[in-house]
Chains A and B, each alone.
Chain A
Amino acid sequence: MSDLDDFKATYFDECSELLTELEEQFATIEGGDQSSERLNAVFRAIHSIKGGAGAFGFSGLVGFAHAYETLLDKVREGQVRLSPDVTALCIRANDIVADFVAAARAGTELPGEYGADEKARFDALCAGEDDDGGEPMEEFDIEFVPVMVDLDKGAGEEGPADPAGLDAFAAAPLAADGEHWEIRFRPHSELYARANDPLLLFRELATLGELSVRAVFEPIPLLADFEPFGVYCAWEMTLASPTATETAIREAFEFVEGNCDLEVVQLSAAPVTVAEPEALSLLAAVEPIAARLADRMPEPPALELPDEAEAPLPSFSDLADTIKSAAPARQPFIPIRSEPMTPRAPVAEAPAAAPDAEAERRNGVQSIRVDLDKVDRVVNMVGELVITQSMLTQQMDDTLRQKYQELVRGLEVLAQTTRGLQDSVMAIRAQPVKSVFSRMPRLVRELATKTGKKIRLETIGENTEIDKTVIEQLSDPLTHMIRNSADHGIELPEKRLAAGKTETGVIRLSAEQAGGNILIVVEDDGAGINREKVMQVARQRGVVAADQQLTDEQIDQLIFAPGFSTAEAVSDISGRGVGMDVVLSNIKKIGGSVHVRSWAGRGTRMTLRLPLTLAVLDVMLVRVSQNPYVVPLSSIVETMQCSRASFERVPSGGKVLQVRGEYVQVIDLCDRFEMATSVDEKNRFVVLCEAEGSVKVALVVDDIIGQQQVVIKSLEENFESIEGIAGGTILGDGNVALIVDVQGLKTAKLRRAAA
């Protein structure tokens, strides 16, 4: 990746953060908070987006952001009122900025007129408020006032340079070749206060041609009247250059414009140059003065205590001496060449301060940015550590335990520490779901506009944290679910009113942590799933057998079946040729599950259950025939011995288990995975699991070995996808165990039954 790509990546990252912030800020602003802090933050966000865009030449984005920024600037200055209308315009503008950023990221161009309407409105708004006399006067104009009025300072520094010196200058004899310029330069004390250095200006000028500099000393007052920060020196220069222009010369003084008196006059011929030794001696005399003046500028004690004038003047005597000795040698010109002169003692050559960890800490470094790859490396190593630790624990048999009690204690501590380490590492990867949730308001706005419906989005629990990888995978499914809710769930306003509901439909998006899982719920108060239609379509497409009867809940889940879509015509919004089955497969990919419930006329609720982390799973280790299998602990309800379970045969030949009056489908893993069991039926175990929607499944296994943590290895990546198996893992003893996919087993069973 080139440097530029690196910068772009940083920029786009930053843009998404800023856009998220904008979304949040405007949510608060819409809520009535128009504090300047908020308006400033909004302004800054757009300003930063524009700044970066300029650096990469995203001109469309720069143009739009600039117009928007101008408006925001007026808003924060109070010149444009942030009415609900303007707020709505801004929110729309945020979306447009986001589109520009997305286009820039994708390397595509938006149409030229994109955002032009909004831009025109910005300009109109800005112009409308400007009628009262244009730009307000800048209050910091003082630097352009030629005569400084400063009560702290003595007389003697007002007015331009001593004209006497200039006469001599003007009378200098001139030679006949090349273009020649006279430059008269008298700094004001502000020039020094802003850390400008005349010597550097001379150096700059010398790049234009042959430069001669002559110092013009003004009368030094008596000690009592001497102003330490006063300016008692001006310069006159002659520049011989065939190419220099007045603009180029003035450009050298660009930074000090307004802080000096400057005259640039073109002559027709060159002055006589002066012997170098003389010139150098004067240069040597001038330098310390310039240096001292610059160095001494604003030291408050000296200003406040004028009677202690001696205090800041240890150098006064040599200053006076220098000036005295320099004064007679006033006529010579000093040629300055393009190469830099010997600088005065550099300010910054003191040894760099040693790194001070304590100071670093005091100054509050509260966050650092770490490459995700680095974190992942740690996560993987911790995963391996977990395995090693559990292997060590397994190796401890009773004899060893008796013999090496210290070792056992050590291992226990190790187990605890490992667990803590793992939690901490996972916490590093965790991020609030806010980053995904914050994209949804815009989506809902767009959906509402497209469908002509009125929809309000409510978000709850957006600070809930989930693993970063999970969050990244969450955006698409969530977008799809919300589209589905807006398109199929929420009714048109008139329909809602007719049904006795409020005109505006509500989609509620919430996140919460429940045990080892995160629940994300998308809920709407729309019409609910039309089960009749769902069944009809499902039968048509062969998803369900013609004579099969399903419960309401089973029908609801059908919307996630592959290739299922009830939209009769493919709508612009959710029917994009892919159904909700994509949601399911995406969620499954990250180890989660989806469940839907619907109430006719009252709404639909879709629940995503996601693992807190992707890497490590708490499992129960079981034995099926001679092989170890693991069942995710989060799905296990209870376990029992078969001898205590009450099975009943059903006419179809299958078995069901009666648990507290409820009949639960039984899946014998030996049968299911086609293995023979040598264990007597009554010594086998039942593992009662909960699949989606609180549907229970009873798994029958040969033995229960224990509980532990495993690191999940993907089967798809390393082998191939197997129905009923969610993945694999390596056990402490080095054996491979497969992870049972409870939901998958259940669905497969259902499908077989249907076939």
Chain B
Amino acid sequence: MRILTVDDSRTILAMLHHTLSNAGFEVLQAEDGQKGLSVLEREKVDVVITDINMPVMDGIEFIKHVRAKGIHASLPILILTTETSQDKRDQGRAAGGTGWIVKPFDPEKLISVIHRVVH
């Protein structure tokens, strides 16, 4: 199963990569929404995990773009969010986010959330 992780923080990308690849996922990375879109253009992925606050194209905009493409209508998108940014989470959901992951995440929780949105 392939997961695209989108975050401008190298730390978060590295931690996601570590956790996900240990769990047997194939992990793709992008540093902002724009780059995330170009990855989706050429790669087939099963789940997307995206941050909200990013330069160039933020997570909300990114989700809207993904959903605007018919082929990605049923692609699960998880939003990376903090406990305190409820409004951002809601914006992300309204844009088409499937679910969310609260940072800081513990590895087991992360995997279980992924299993909640993908077969």
Q: What is A's interface to B at a CB cutoff of 8 Å?
A: 3, 6-7, 10-11, 13-14, 40-41, 43-44, 47-48, 50-52, 54-55, 57, 66, 138, 140-143, 192-197, 199-200, 204, 254-255, 258, 294-300, 340, 343-344, 346-348, 350, 352-353, 356, 359, 363
Contacts and interface: CB of A to CB of B under 8 A. Distances in A.
Contacts of B119: 197, 199-200, 340, 343-344, 346
Interface in B1-43: 1-2, 8-12, 14-15, 18, 35, 38, 42-43
Contacts of A363: 35, 38, 42
A722 B35 CA distance: 55
Q: Identify which of A3, A347, A356 gathers the most chain B CB atoms within 10 Å of its CB.
A: A347
Contacts of B67: 193, 298
Contacts of A3: 18
**Interface SS of chain B: helix, strand, loop or mixed?**
mixed
Nearest to A57: B104
Given A193-B67, A352-B43, A54 B9 contact: no
Given A255-B116, A347-B74, A193 B96 contact: yes
5 contacts: A52-B9, A195-B75, A296-B73, A350-B44, A352-B2
B8 A44 contact: yes
A232 to B, nearest CB: 18
Contacts of A7: 11, 14-15, 18
Interface string B73-91: 1111100001010010011
B10 A44 contact: no
B54 interface: yes
A194 B97 CA distance: 6
A345 to B, nearest CB: 10
A44 B116 contact: no
A140 B35 CA distance: 26
Interface residues of B, number: 46
Nearest to B100: A255
Contacts of A10: 10-11, 14
Interface of B: 1-2, 8-12, 14-15, 18, 35, 38, 42-46, 53-55, 67-68, 70, 73-77, 82, 84, 87, 90-91, 93-94, 96-100, 103-104, 116-119
A710 B35 CA distance: 44
B75 A347 contact: yes
Contact of A143 (B77, B93, B116): B93
| Those 3 A-B pairs whose CB atoms lie nearest each other, nearest first | A343-B119, A255-B99, A140-B94
A660 to B, nearest CB: 58
Nearest to B72: A195
A138 B60 CA distance: 15
Contacts of A57: 104
Given A3-B18, A295-B73, A350-B44, A14 B94 contact: no
Nearest to B60: A140
A713 B31 CA distance: 41
B103 A193 contact: no
**Interface SS of chain A: helix, strand, loop or mixed?**
helix
A141 B91 CA distance: 9
Contacts of A44: 8, 53-55
B12 A55 contact: yes
Contacts of B98: 194-196, 255
B99 A54 contact: no
Contacts of A347: 46, 74-75
A197 B12 CA distance: 27
Contacts of A352: 2, 43-44
Given A44-B8, A196-B98, A299 B70 contact: yes
Given A143-B93, A200-B118, A300-B70, 17 more contacts: A3-B18, A48-B9, A48-B53, A50-B82, A54-B103, A54-B104, A55-B11, A55-B104, A140-B91, A194-B98, A195-B117, A199-B119, A200-B117, A295-B74, A344-B119, A347-B46, A348-B44
A340 B35 CA distance: 34
A358 to B, nearest CB: 10
A205 to B, nearest CB: 11
A353 B43 contact: yes
A14 B93 CA distance: 29
A650 B91 CA distance: 86
Given A6-B14, A14-B9, A195-B96, A138 B53 contact: no
Contacts of A295: 73-74
Contact of B87 (A138, A197, A199): A138
Contacts of B74: 192, 195, 197, 294-295, 297, 347
B70 A194 contact: no
A505 B23 CA distance: 59
A14 B15 CA distance: 13
Q: Identify which of A47, A66, A343 gathers the most chain B CB atoms within 10 Å of its CB.
A: A47
A666 to B, nearest CB: 57
Contact of A140 (B18, B46, B90): B90
